[in-house]
Amino acid sequence: MSKQILETFPNQYPGREYQVDIECPEFTSLCPKTGQPDFGTIRIRYVPDQHIIELKALKFYLFSYRSQGIFYESVVNKILDDLVAASRPIRCEVIGDFTVRGGISTSVRAVYEGD
């Protein structure tokens, strides 16, 4: 499956370092070892520079993981890389809270602190 494109629009308040929090509790991908579905909540917190992340394209981007086999650590680091590449933020943090598997739940958190 081809990866959905993230989109942005111009930040209308570029002179102020404000923060945007986005929460998507409907994330699902596949376990690369078993092929079984994984489920989780993706949380994104970023400080925009010139670009605001467009929410509808983000929704489609996150849905594009639905048929992809990928580890928890890669989900979070990959989303962070893609968001940074698309929106060049001042700061960006991605957290993935994944549901219980084998009596154990896992959360991964990665941060981009700008250049």
- By CB under 8 A, name the one of 19, 32, 50, 114 that touches a second copy: 19
User: CA-to-CA distance for 32 and 99, rounded, in angstroms?
Assistant: 16
**Among all chains, which residue has been given the structure tokens 């629009």?**
9
Q: Please state the closest distance from residue 114 (CB atom) to a second copy, in A.
A: 13
Radius of gyration of the chain (CA): 14
Compute how many residues bind a second copy; rule: CB under 8 A: 42
The least distance separating a second copy from the CB of residue 66, rounded to whole angstroms, comes to: 7
Asked about 38 being catalytic, the answer comes back as: yes
Residue 15 makes CB contacts below 8 A (sequence gap 6+) with none
Catalytic site includes residue 31: yes
Nearest to 68 by CA among 105, 30, 115: 30
Contact footprint for a second copy (CB under 8 A): 11-13, 16, 18-26, 28, 36-37, 39, 48, 52, 55-56, 58-59, 63, 66, 73-74, 76-77, 99-111
